[in-house]
């Protein structure tokens, strides 16, 4: 079992303890959009030109990435998608279709 499968199982166990269960895919997409926005805001505060307001709480990019990952795992679980298989598919695409897309580092 891969680490991502373990994460999917852990999220599933967490969600299944609540009567509401998984949100609808559309509801989860809305939540994912929210979380990506919060991630973008933190990156902009740390690496961009936008300063935080003094009353804004401190959050970390790590925490925001974790929130995004949790929602992605929740969405995948609710749709019965194995993320390790999804990852294999996308890496095959990058390693074949996009093989010559970017200039490679010379050895």
Please state, in angstroms and rounded to a whole number, the distance separating the CA atoms of residues 66 and 86: 19
> What pLDDT shows up at residue 61?
92
User: Which DSSP string corresponds to 12-51?
Assistant: HHHHTTSTT-SPPHHHHHHHHHHHHHHHHHHHHHHHSSPP
Q: Walk along the chain (107 residues) and give the pLDDT tens digit of each residue.
A: 779 999 999 999 999 999 999 999 999 999 999 999 999 999 998 888 877 777 777 778 999 999 999 999 999 999 999 999 999 999 999 889 877 788 888 87
> What pLDDT shows up at residue 97?
86
Domains and CATH numbers, the chain: 3-82 (1.10.287.1080)
Alpha-carbon dihedral angle through residues 31, 82, 89, 95, given to the nearest 10 degrees: 80
> What pLDDT shows up at residue 20?
95
């Amino acid at each position: 079992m891969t680490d991502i499968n373990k994460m999917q199982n852990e999220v599933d166990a967490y969600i299944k303890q609540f009567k509401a269960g998984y949100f609808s895919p559309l509801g989860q997409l809305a939540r994912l959009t929210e979380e990506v926005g919060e991630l973008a805001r933190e990156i902009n505060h740390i690496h961009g030109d936008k300063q935080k307001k003094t009353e804004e709480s401190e959050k970390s990019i790590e925490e925001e990435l974790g929130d995004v990952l949790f929602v992605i795992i929740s969405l995948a679980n609710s749709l019965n998608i194995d993320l390790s298989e999804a990852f294999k598919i996308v890496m095959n695409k990058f390693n074949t279709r996009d093989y010559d897309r970017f200039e490679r580092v010379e050895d």
